[in-house]
A and B are shown apart, each in its own frame.
Chain A
Amino acid sequence: MVCSTNLFVELIMTHSSSLLHQEDPNAIAKRLMQKAHTRDGLPEIAVGITFLVLAGLCWLQEIFKHGTNGYQAASLGMVLLFPALAFGTQWAIKHVRRRFLIKKVGYVEAKPVNRKQRGIVFVIAAAVAAAVTIATYIFIRGSHSSTAFSATGWLLAGTGIIGGAGAAFLGRLPRYVVGGVIMAATGIYLAFSGVSLNAGFAILYGLIGLLSLISGCVVLLLLVRQPAQEGE
């Protein structure tokens, strides 16, 4: 019996793909769902638009002097528009898919976000806000001393590297990894280029936004041009 069960374990390991038995079914489902989620390029288009808007606001902050109405409007826009876009685009993606792409990508109803997941998102958002506040504080302190350049450089390089690593890790697709590498490299380049903080962020976010938008549009175009599959 033991011999036969050992044989059975071996059979499981060889007969079934490693994808299925080396991991938890939850991990398999998450990977498959992520693959399906990125299949139409809509999330990248949404990210692209969000980052281009953010880049535009950073650029406005660069153009207008600190304390002017234009600068304050840009700052307010950043505070209000960025979260609105981040959440609004999720809603828009869902509706565009159901309205125009259902034949291509199919229909799925995701599970509602539970309290634990909401809590995790809230903690991450709070941690990011705290990190940004600390980084800005360091920058403002640094701008009054001889270390101003290094403080700006750290912020730009840090944003590029952390953002790039995040994109590569979360996306797990070659195009996301390439995007992540470009983001990190741009951040590091800008850190040494001597640009101002707002101009640096405008360039960094603008480049990410543009790359993401182009990549998403290409993926969407390829999907739309695919011949329709037969129904079940």
Chain B
Amino acid sequence: MSAKIQQLAEIDRVIHEPARLMIVALLAAVVEADFQYLRNATGLTQGNLSTHLSRLEEAGYIAIEKSFRGKYPLTICRLTERGREVLDNYRKVIKAALR
């Protein structure tokens, strides 16, 4: 039990932040989503969401791509393989520690 709890000390701080966890959890459930969808789904402000997305992109957990749908600019985000691994690991550690 103690070893499982101690694993929490090494938990990934990037994904552990609630807003970033929401973003990563959402992106894990879809193929891709744009900025507007993430903003609606998470309820974060524009600035907050931008900051968290940049942080996740820097860590290599998500990939961001700018494109257009007609005249509408899209900032499309998708979870990378690394991001998926980190989320799976995070889920396992939290579940084991809080069980």
Residue numbers in B under 8 Å from A20 (CB-CB): 18, 21-22
B26 proximal to A (CB < 8 A): yes
Do most interface residues of chain B lie in helix, strand or loop, or is the interface mixed? helix
Say how far B32's CB is from chain A's closest CB, in angstroms. Answer: 5
Known A-B contacts A25-B91, A29-B28; the reply to A107 vs B76 at CB < 8 A is: yes
- The 8 Å CB contact of B37, one of A2, A16, A106, A111, is A106
A5 close to B5 (CB less than 8 A): yes
Say how far B14's CB is from chain A's closest CB, in angstroms. Answer: 14
Known A-B contacts A9-B97, A28-B21, A102-B72; the reply to A111 vs B40 at CB < 8 A is: no
A1 proximal to B (CB < 8 A): yes
Number of chain B residues close to chain A: CB under 8 A: 43
Q: Please give me the residue from chain A that is nearest to B95 by CB atom.
A: A24
Number of chain A residues close to chain B: CB under 8 A: 38
How long is the Cα–Cα vector from A9 to B9 in the complex, in angstroms? 9
A25 close to B75 (CB less than 8 A): no
Q: Please give me the residue from chain B that is nearest to A109 by CB atom.
A: B31
Known A-B contacts A4-B9, A26-B25; the reply to A106 vs B18 at CB < 8 A is: no
Q: Please give me the residue from chain B that is nearest to A98 by CB atom.
A: B69
- The 8 Å CB contact of A232, one of B16, B40, B46, B69, is B46
Q: Which B residues form the contact surface with A (CB < 8 A)? A: 2, 5-6, 8-9, 16, 18, 21-22, 24-26, 28-42, 46, 49-50, 69, 72-76, 87, 90-91, 94-95, 97-98
